[in-house]
Amino acid sequence: MNVPTFVKWAGGKKQLLQQFKDVFPKEITTYHEPFVGGGSVAFYIIKNHKPKKVFISDINEELINCYKVIKNDVKELIWSLKQYAKMHSKKTYYNFREQNPQKLSSVQRAARFIYLNKTCFNGLYRVNSTGKFNVPIGSYNKPAIVQEEDLKEISRLLKKAVINKTSFEAVLNVAKKGDFIYFDPPYYPIKKGQSFTTYTKENFLEKEQETLARTFKSLDKRGCLVMLSNSDTEFIKKRYKDYNITIVKAKRMINCDATKRGAINELVVTNYPIDKIQKTLKTV
């Protein structure tokens, strides 16, 4: 799918857009994505469905700052990234990693975020318990640090978007009947200890999954159209047993262990019927 990207992101959905296109509602007037992540779904929806209103959010402060800078200061961001690309080295990487982003300007902060994402090991974004980015440098000959045309296109796509750093429950404050909400949370672990929940210092555990399920149900009762992705586990199936559950095949591209990258089943939950199911999808 011809959708721009600006970061690698664990659980990114660009690879699934071909399967998702028949799952999305045909008409989308207002779109909400509370776990926006790398933004592939949001960019696809904006580009192809052209909603009048768009609300995107995430709890990751660095990520949301980056979205705001791409929307409002993309030229300055591109210039900064070009300077970083010229400076790139192992020493530069670790110097930037040690910086306190809170002391940088918003543009410098966004450039640092993208630079680290493009040059770190396997494009993984991970922080420790104090919120400090702690991924080692990756082994790239020529990392694609400056994706100028993608950044410009994303800036155009975001012009009408409302961008906020909030928890997913905040969607309840703004979503109205008929709105479309897509949830792509940190996944429930298939096996104990395998989940990736450390993209912020606050982990996303069973308690948060339960709260998310209640939020989904509240939006359903409100008359919203709701779609959610998560792992193919009995825990998730049980929480959404009253809704439509579909299995999609996904490729896990970001994992510290290369042997654990590969095709896996994921669940897609909707509170609305899917008129056209592709051959690559199956219902539960």
Q: Name the pairing type of β-strands 180-183 and 30-33.
A: parallel
The chain-wide mean pLDDT, for the chain, equals 90
Going edge to edge, which strands form the sheet with 225-231? 161-165, 53-58, 30-33, 180-183, 225-231, 262-270, 244-252, 282-283
Q: Is 67-150 assigned to CATH 1.10.10.10?
A: no
In the chain, the amino acid numbered 246 is T
Q: Is residue 254 pLDDT above 60, yes or no?
A: no
Under CATH, to which class is 14-60+156-283 assigned?
A: alpha beta
Q: Is residue 258 pLDDT above 70, yes or no?
A: no
Strand partners for 163: 56
Q: Is residue 196 pLDDT above 60, yes or no?
A: no
Residue 264: its pLDDT value, please?
Answer: 86
DSSP label at residue 122: G
Q: What phi and psi, each to the nearest 5 degrees, are found at residue 210?
A: -65, -45
Residue 198: its pLDDT value, please?
Answer: 47
Q: How buried is residue 72: exposed, middle or buried, by Cβ count under 10 Å (0-12/13-18/19+)? A: middle
pTM equals: 0.91
Give percent of the chain with pLDDT exceeding 70: 88
Q: Is residue 280 pLDDT above 50, yes or no?
A: no
Nearest in space to 127 (alpha carbons), one of 118, 119, 116 = 116
Q: How buried is residue 191: exposed, middle or buried, by Cβ count under 10 Å (0-12/13-18/19+)? A: exposed
| Domain limits, CATH 1.10.1020.10, in the chain | 67-150
Rounded to an integer, the average pLDDT of 170-182 is 98
| Domain limits, CATH 3.40.50.150, in the chain | 14-60+156-283
Q: Is 25:132 a contact under the CB 8 Å cutoff?
A: no
Q: Is residue 98 pLDDT above 50, yes or no?
A: yes
- Could you count the other beta carbons within 10 Å of the beta carbon of residue 92? 15
DSSP label at residue 188: P
Q: Is residue 281 pLDDT above 80, yes or no?
A: no
Q: Is 253:226 a contact under the CB 8 Å cutoff?
A: no
- Locus of tokens 């909603």: 51
Q: Is residue 64 pLDDT above 80, yes or no?
A: yes
Q: Is residue 183 pLDDT above 60, yes or no?
A: yes
